[in-house]
Amino acid sequence: MIRPLGWLTALGLVAGLVLAFGVAPREELQGNVQRIMYLHVPSVLVAYLAFAVVLVASIAYLTRRGEAADRLAQASAEAGVLFTGITIASGAIWGKPTWGTWWTWDARLTSVAILFIMYLGYLLLRAMIEDRERAARYAAVLGIVAALDIPLVHFSVYWWRTLHQPPSILKPGPGTMPAVFLVVLLVNLAAFTLLYAWFVTKRVRLLRREHEAFA
């Protein structure tokens, strides 16, 4: 299962790259720097997905104490931290030519930074506690609490005054993005989602083997 998923992921990433640089037109106002949207937006949406999986898996673990749910939560949290890091880095690169600064403490950027720190803390908590069951239990609680920041991140541009533009997709009302931009964005989102699934599947298998080795 992992190998076909890996090939499909690679194909999706290549297709997304070709569309982003070879098919999508140059944006009139921002120019070529706008193309980073095809990295930035999919990365944050996949981070949302990863942390939503952490939330559901954490609830499942606390309810049933299933080790499979705990492994899924850990693997998804690791992927979520990775994609959030990509979001922050790509946003800074995009922000410098458009806002004139790499970083500003507005509501969107600050809430994303808090999200990143909380899930780094989630992984650190798991690493610090030697007792596996206690580490899983404490991490599950933190995974549930940290997920409360996701709607804060997404809707911060509506609730507070911020430099950051409103969401390109997953927003109230009809979309305003030109069709060609939307298609390229969705292809890259699908590719990043496949990359997330490949990473989590592979990581869960490694975590299961580690557990069996030390059982």
Q: What are the pLDDT digits (tens) for 192-205?
A: 999 999 999 999 99
**CB distance 44 to 69 below 8 Å:** no
The answer to whether residue 19 sits within a structural domain is no
pLDDT for 16-70, tens place per residue?
A: 999 999 998 988 888 888 899 999 999 999 999 999 999 999 999 999 989 999 9
The answer to whether residue 17 sits within a structural domain is no
pLDDT for 69-125, tens place per residue?
A: 999 999 999 999 999 999 999 999 998 888 888 888 888 899 999 999 999 999 999
* CA dihedral sign, ordered 133, 136, 142, 145: negative
What is the pTM (predicted TM-score) of this model?
0.91
pLDDT of residue 138: 96
Looking at the structure of the chain, the number of domains it has is: 1
User: In three state form, how does the secondary structure of 92-158 look?
Assistant: HHHHHHHHCCCCCCCHHHHHHHHHHHHHHHHHHHHHHCCCHHHHHHHHHHHHHHHCCHHHHHHHHHH
The answer to whether residue 48 sits within a structural domain is yes
The answer to whether residue 76 sits within a structural domain is yes
Range of the domain at 95: 32-162+177-214
Question: Which amino acid belongs to residue 167?
Answer: P
What distances in angstroms separate CA 184 from CA 19, 71, 177, 179, one per listed residue? 6, 33, 11, 9
The answer to whether residue 23 sits within a structural domain is no
Per the structure block, which two tokens stand in for 56?
């559901």
- State how far the Cα of 132 lies from the Cα of 61, in Å rounded to an integer: 13
pLDDT of residue 79: 98
Three-state DSSP state, 1: coil
The answer to whether residue 5 sits within a structural domain is no
Q: How confident is residue 172, by pLDDT bands cut at 50, 70 and 90?
A: low
pLDDT of residue 73: 97
The tokens 């496949």 sit on which residue?
Answer: 194
pLDDT for 117-167, tens place per residue?
A: 999 999 999 999 989 899 999 999 999 999 999 999 888 877 777 777 777
Q: Is the pLDDT of residue 6 over 70?
A: yes
The answer to whether residue 130 sits within a structural domain is yes
The answer to whether residue 11 sits within a structural domain is no
pLDDT of residue 171: 63
Q: Which residues sit opposite 27 in a β-bridge? A: 31
- State how far the Cα of 167 lies from the Cα of 157, in Å rounded to an integer: 8
pLDDT of residue 120: 97
